[in-house]
Each structure stands twice: as C-alpha cells, then as structure tokens.
Structure 1
Amino acid sequence: MQHGSTGSRGAWAASLRRSVRLLGEFRYEQPDPERFYTALAADSVGQLSSYLDLAGCTVLDVGGGPGYFRDAFEAAGATYWALDADVGELAGTGAIATGTVVGDGMNLPFADGAVDLCYSSNVLEHVREPWRMADEMLRVTRPGGLAFISYTVWFGPWGGHETAPWHYLGGRRARRRYLARHGHEPKNRYGESLFAVTVRDGLAWARRQHAGEVVDVLPRYHPRWARWLVRVPVLRELLTWNLVIVVRRK
C-alpha cells in the first residue's frame, strides 16, 4: 500500500515538473519560437503516446507552419504531413519540406479517413470558423484514429497573444494599443488572424459533434491531475492557458 502511495506521489511530482518546464519554455514563444515549439513537439509526442502508438501512423498537422513538429513525430515512427494556408509560415525555417501542403484548414484537401492522427496545436484561435476546422479534422481521420485539437483560450493569460493582458479590455482595444505603442500592427491581429475562442466553445462543440467519441478534455500545460479545472465555469476560462480536446473517430 505504501509502495502505491509512493508511486502516486512520484507521478504527481513528475506531472508538476512537466508543467513547470512547459510554462518556462512558453516565455520563448515570441523571441525564440523554434525553442518553444521544439519543446512543445516533444511533449506532444509523449502526450499522444498515451492514446495511440505513433509508429506507422500517418499524421496530418493542421496549421503546422514551418514544421517544428516534424522531427519529433518522425522520430516516433510516424509519417508526417504539414498543412498551412500561409506559404510564408511554411518557409519559416528555410526551404519548404517534403510532405508539406498549402491549403485551408476549414476545407482540408484530403480524402475522408485519410490519416490516423489529425493534429492541430495553437491554430484554432487563428481561424475565423474554428469549429468548421474541427469538423474537417474529424472528417479526414480514419475510423479508430484520433483528432487532437489544442488551442489558446481567449480569457486565459495569453489569450491576446502579444497584446496580452490588454485583451481583457477587448481585442480591438488591445490591438489599437499595440499599434500606438509599437508603431506597427501585432502579428496576431484581433478580428483578422486572432479570434476569441473559449473553453465553453470547445466543450459545446465536443458535445454536439457526432463523428467521434470524446476521449479526453484537459488543460494542456497543467498537470494531468488538474483536468477537473475544465468542469468549473468562469475559473476554467481564466486559468486554462490552452485547452486540449481528443476525439476518437467512430
């Protein structure tokens, strides 16, 4: 009995260390995106491995940008495809890699059931019709495969991205303030390339979609034992930096 208790404490501590490490890397998201997204990719592979064996999987990374996640997924034995609507983003690390597709996340250029895992990280808040994109992700996932959807929550500390924390006073006001202060628009422009997406929105979509079975809903950067947070209205919006929804295709 004592051994089990010790093991539980060890798992609790390991989960807490993971969260502290990820949040520590988060401060590099703007000044050193390669560092942050490489760390996030390694963490994502570890997280996904608890749901499925990535070896031999075909993975579609929707909004994959320059492909920071490619090395981590391929090292796990997956075949990796990245899709982005912005050619500039795709070429962000140099030449555009093989297995890269230019396309629209709300109208994915893939057949029904084409991939084993459809993955999207920190993209949904940049899409004008986020839940249409979520539906598309399920469409291209094969029966038994997974859709992993992760997005930045609007009312969380980083909801306004580089305009945070002024987004709490309104996205447009935060955008105007940024322009006045820096002399140029933020990269993530509220109403154009940044939209308010909440935990409540994600839970509502998870309930109304019928294409898959919801496997998990949790705050991504928190310890796994903090998943209770998504069940608490208001608090979940303020303390969930990033929400993960995992759905297994029927």
Structure 2
Amino acid sequence: MSVKGWIHSIESFGTVDGPGIRYVLFVQGCPLKCLYCHNPDTWSVYEDRDNNKKDTACAKKSGEMTDSETIVNDILSYKGYIKTGGVTISGGEPLMQIEFVLDIIKRCKENGIHTAIDTSGCISVTRSKAVIDEVDLVLLDIKSLDNEQAAKLTGSSNTNTLDTLDYCEKINKKVWIRHVLLPGWTMDMKRLNDLADYLKPYKCIEMLELLPFHKMGEYKWKELGLDYTLSKTAEPDRNDVERVKQIFINKGFSLNITASYGVKSKGV
C-alpha cells in the first residue's frame, strides 16, 4: 500500500548528496530554522483544511502531496543513470515523514537501488530508528557541537543529532558527517579542533564533508518575507578553507577539495 507524503522538489542528476549520480528527493517540512538555510521554502506545509486542499496562495511554500509508489516509479525511470549511485532523500527534514520515507527506501531496496537520507538528526532516535535501520547511508548534518550555539543557529538543541550518531555507531550504520563552515559561528579554530576530536573515535563515519557557507538562498528569505540575518557575513574563501583543511589533516583525517561545494574528508 502506497504512503502519502509532502515533497518540495526533485533533482534527477545529483552529484553532491552521497556517492555517485543520485536521484535526490527534497521533502517538505522541517522543525529547524537554521540561520544559513538556503531552502527556507521547505520549512512549512500549508493546507486549506476547510476545503481539504492546499492553500494555493502558499503553493510556493507548501510543495505538493504525492505518494511513495508514484515517487518510486519515477525513480525507476532513472535507474540506468543512478545504478552506480542511488537515491538520497533530503529536505526539509526527511525524518519528519517517517512512514513516507521508509516506504520509499524499502521499495528502492527491493529494486536494488542504494539509499541515503540527508538529515539533521533532530528527530529522536526512538522515532527515527526505523528509517535509520533500513537506509544504506546516513548523511548527518552536525550544526554545532556546542549545544548553546546549535540552539542559536537552528532554534533547537543538538542532543538528538548526537544521539543519532551514537545509534549509527551502535548498529554500524555508514555515516557521512556534514558541517557548515559559518564565519563568526562554527568557523572557529577551537570549535573545529573540538569537532575533529569528538568525531575521530566513531568507526561508522566514512566521510566528513565541510561545507563553506554561501548566500545563494538569501533571495528566498526575502521572497518569503523573512529576515536574513547573515546578509553581511562573508563567505569563506579558499584560504579560509585551506586553514580548516589543515586542522583535520593534523588530526589524522585524509582530505581532498571538492570544487564549488566544499571539502570532503575520508574517515580516519
């Protein structure tokens, strides 16, 4: 039986959200409000409950409702292109729609397609474990190791995120860590050293992705009438990223630069 869910958009030829060429499904809805979010239009789902349909005035924000069977049929039409890659479910926050996401993952695996989720891990493990158990790879976005800073950046604690990493370690689930380099916030040498020290013992971590902050989504904030507080924050340049790279090299991580997207580091 197919499961209904809300989606924002689809990228049929993704190359930066997991290994290989991937079909990337961006689902709608996220409980976080990250200051640097470049897709704030994925945060909310709007529905006209009186008429049992989406509010068309908010259509740009709300995405669209579909079902898991429809999505997987579309995925299968690209199977020849993604055979050495797979499917990544991103967002928004995919773990907000557990039944929908889980059914897509199961159907993909039945068809021999590699699966990944791109998540903040902000949903409790007791709720999210069904998806984590089933998916092949978890792309886990650690906003900040410091709980107070994480709350200021996102509006939420980092406790569930770190619990998610612990659970992945417990069940030996493959993880790629993602971390945004935000000047004045996370792009601090001590914080980055602390992050490297914290992550190093985890055997489940295959890859570390350091993602330089950018403002490509600023226009979306303005279109939605939201205050973008990072307008005057400088984007990291190549020298900034190289300094960060050296921190992780010194901690025993093997790194390489990925053009136009950030730094990728193989697990220790």
User: Fold match, TM over 0.5?
Assistant: no
Indicate the structure with greater helix content. Answer: 1
Alignment TM-score, normalising by the size of structure 2? 0.38
Alignment TM-score, normalising by the size of structure 1? 0.40
